[in-house]
Structure 1
Amino acid sequence: MTWTGTLTMPQAIIGCDLSRAFLDLCDLPSGRTQRIPNTCDAVAEWVETLAPDILVVFEATSGCDDILIATLTERAHHFSRVNPRQAREFARATGVLAKTDRIDARVLAQMGTALDLPVTRSISSARATLADFLRRRRQLVDTRKAEKLRRHRAGHDDIAEQIDAMIALLSTQIRALDQRIKSLIDKDQTLSEQAALMRAMPGIGPTVLAILLGEFPELGTLCRRKIASLAGLAPYARESGTWKGARRIWGGRRKVREALYIAALSASRRMLTLIAMRDRMRAKGKAPKSILIAVARQLLVILNGMIQKRQPLQIT
């Protein structure tokens, strides 16, 4: 969702702490604070008062920011949707240990003032709907997994029968969602074009494909280093003085990274480029996990290039 263009530094930054009931706001440099209801009418009324060059900074809070994002997008206001962990670490780095809604709003405003935050670009309604369906599918899959674990400890035949019925119901709903997700992808031109490119890649099955389309809209918009970092597949150095530790990945989007791991396991057995890469790393004594991360990162780079150029890459 990050946009790679340039943005003139706004005259003011507004930090916004989100909850289901309220938006706590802090305007810098004035320092003015206020609280408004998190409703369509209240948010729209507030957004109408904003100057065109103001940047609104808030955390990526699932389920609480839909109204704010839709309203800011409709009025063409810039906003930056930041990682909650990054915001919390910024607060600690600046000596802010207390945590209240008003304090969090001020911290977000200070963060926007101190850092060159990327401007978030809103996604299409089709991609947003896809993300909603994926979230629901994940909930059903997790519930089915829990029911299967309970099945082993049912104890009584009647209980086991009830659990089996629940598992069957969940499986039916998951299959229905899979069909709905496929239909949604096929009906949207951008999603269907990107899907056609990615389906040609070994290891990219329907579930991995849907996750990349719905939860990784930045694919094809960033350079290889930034896209790997966003997925949590970029290794970071760990050095101090003469000591050099092993590089480790950190952060990123866990669900996207897990999907790429699944794809990498299959692709590393079917693509000559990735097979050779895997074998070289094995010969050097690299750990299996390190090899999987490297293959997943390379697979992501290939996919990113395909989407950028809007054409399949000639790879083996």
Structure 2
Amino acid sequence: MIRNRSRLQLRRAKSDRIDAVLIAACTHLLDPKETKAADPRLDGLCDQLTLIEQVEADIARLKTRLEHIRDQRLRDIVTADIENLKARRADELRRLIAALRSHADLARRFEVVLSVPGIGERTALAFVLRMPELGAVSREQAAALAGLAPFVQQSGRWTGETHIAGGRSRLRRSLYAAALPAAFRWNLALKALYRRLMGRGKAHAVALVACARKLLIFANTVVTRGTPWTERTAEA
């Protein structure tokens, strides 16, 4: 029961203090909290986004295959398939954005998220459709939902490694894809964060996860405020 409650609340961290709080909470019968009904509009839109993600995965696989093909005729076949898939991706992306913008509230959220440097249309779609809670949760809750929150494992004298786990995998992959170019080119705050972490001897993967988490926090902040990005947002 205690473990299931911990999973339900997205609490993957483990320590004696956290365990004590969970055990105490489970000794009482609490009325279920009111939950917001799921937005039925998102189902079809998410299906369209999933198709785009699958097409992107197909493109990546064909590019890998192309690296191992020497015969020019076969290379031409695979190259043509890649170009066709790219055209399909672009067309489906246009259709999805048009469908999303037909809803005024989703369009406003999309534009606010899109104002964050380093977040393009593809990533903004993932935010709006894969995390409808954006703007209504804390930065810690947002990171946990995306599987980007660092969780410590500790019990008594034993302390394990801090790591990320769980969350919404498709959203997390979109964040990873956006974090790298954002940290190297588009977002001044993320560039500074990446350099600072690398200067401390952190591994590239660790710094990239931190940048992805920060990008998520920026998106959550602008949606909460309902205003586009400014450089002061990075200080929030």
Give your verdict on TM over 0.5. Answer: yes
Q: 1:163 to 1:263 in 2, by over 3 A?
A: closer
Once the two structures are TM-superposed, the CA of residue 305 in structure 1 deviates from its matched residue by 1.6
* 1:195-274 matches, cutoff 5 A: 195-269=110-184, 270-274=186-190
Structure 2 partner of 1:309: 225
- Distance in 2, matches of 1:156 and 1:166, equals 16
Q: Secondary structure at the match of 1:218?
A: coil
TM-score normalized by the length of structure 2: 0.74
Query: Which letter does structure 2 place at the counterpart of 1:295?
Result: C
1:24 match: none
CA distance in 1, matches of 2:198, 2:49: 35
Distance 1:248 1:134, change over 3 A: same
Any unmatched runs of 5+ in structure 1? Answer: 1-82, 88-112
Amino acid at match of 1:287: A
Distance in 2 (CA, whole Å) between partners of 1:282 and 1:156 is: 42
Query: Which structure dedicates a bigger proportion of its chain to helix?
Result: 2
- Aligned alpha-carbon RMSD (Å): 3.0
Task: Give the match's secondary structure for 2:160.
Answer: strand
| Structure 2: distance between partners of 1:283 and 1:179 | 40
Give the TM-score, by structure 1 length.
Answer: 0.57
Partner of 1:122: 38
- 2:116, 2:218 within 8 Å by CA — same for their partners in 1? no
Cα distance, 1:255 vs. partner? Answer: 1.7
Read off the aligned partner of 2:203 and give its amino acid letter: A
SS state at 1:256 partner: helix
Do 2:116 and 2:229's aligned partners in 1 also have CA atoms closer than 8 Å? no
Among the aligned pairs, what percent are the same residue? 28
The equivalences for 1:1-316 within 5 A come to: 119=35, 121-125=37-41, 127-153=42-68, 159-269=74-184, 270-315=186-231
- Report the Cα distance in structure 2 between the residues aligned to 1:161 and 1:116, rounded to whole angstroms: 59
Report the structure number with the largest CA radius of gyration. 1
Q: By how many angstroms is 1:197 displaced? A: 0.9
AA aligned to 2:227 is Q
* Mean CA deviation greater in 280-289 or 220-229: 280-289
Structure 1 residue 148: Cα displacement: 3.3
Which has the larger displacement, 224-233 or 164-173? Answer: 164-173
Query: Once the two structures are superposed, what CA deviation does each residue of 1:39-84 show, in whole Å capped at 9, x if it has no partner?
Result: xxxxxxxxxxxxxxxxxxxxxxxxxxxxxxxxxxxxxxxxxxxx9x
Equivalent residue, structure 2, for 1:109: none
**Larger RCO, structures 1/2 (Cα 8 Å, 6+ apart):** 2
Check conservation: 1:202, 1:266, Cα contact below 8 A.
no
| Distance across 1 between alignment mates of 2:189 and 2:76 | 49
* Alignment partners' CA distance in 2, 1:277 and 1:264: 11
Q: Distance in 1 between matches of 2:202 and 2:79?
A: 43
Give unpaired runs (5+ residues) of structure 2: 9-28
TM superposition shift of 1:231: 0.4
- For 2:68 and 2:30, the matched residues in 1 are separated by 54
Distance 1:175 1:278, change over 3 A: closer
> How far apart, CA to CA, are the structure 2 residues paired with 1:236 and 1:120?
27
